[in-house]
Amino acid sequence: MARKHRPEEIIGKLREAEIVLAQGGVVADACRRIGVTEQTYYRWRREYGGLKTDQARRMKELEKENAGCAVRYRT
């Protein structure tokens, strides 16, 4: 079963992957180093790329809040 990562952990792993890539490594090496699949790496990069830790945490809070509102207003 897959482990749920917190936004802070994801951003840290993305930074670590960026270091590997900057040193001339390939995406497969970076993914192996941070312990995720390439698919997960690209999904995380799309979702969290460029965010700071506090921004990612706030984004997730807003997503949860918006999901709750959508359920209440369905007809």
pLDDT by 10s per residue, the chain, length 75? 567 888 889 989 999 999 999 999 999 999 999 999 999 999 999 988 777 777 777 878 888 888 877 666 665
Which residue has 């670590």 as its token pair? 16
Tokens at 40, concatenated: 């997960």
Residue 16 domain-assigned (yes or no): yes
Please indicate, yes or no, if residue 27 is contained in any of the structural domains. yes
pLDDT of residue 18: 92
CB proximity list for 48: less than 8 A, separation 6 or greater: 7, 10, 11, 14, 56
Give the pLDDT confidence score for residue 73 in this predicted structure: 62
66 part of a folded domain = yes
2 found inside a domain: no
The parent domain of residue 59 ranges over 7-72
How far is it, in rounded angstroms, from Cα 22 to Cα 1?
31
Q: How far apart are the first and last CA of the chain?
A: 35
Number of domains in the chain: 1
Q: Is residue 1 part of a domain?
A: no
Give the per-residue pLDDT at 48: 85
pLDDT score for 60: 80
Residue 69 token pair = 């509102």
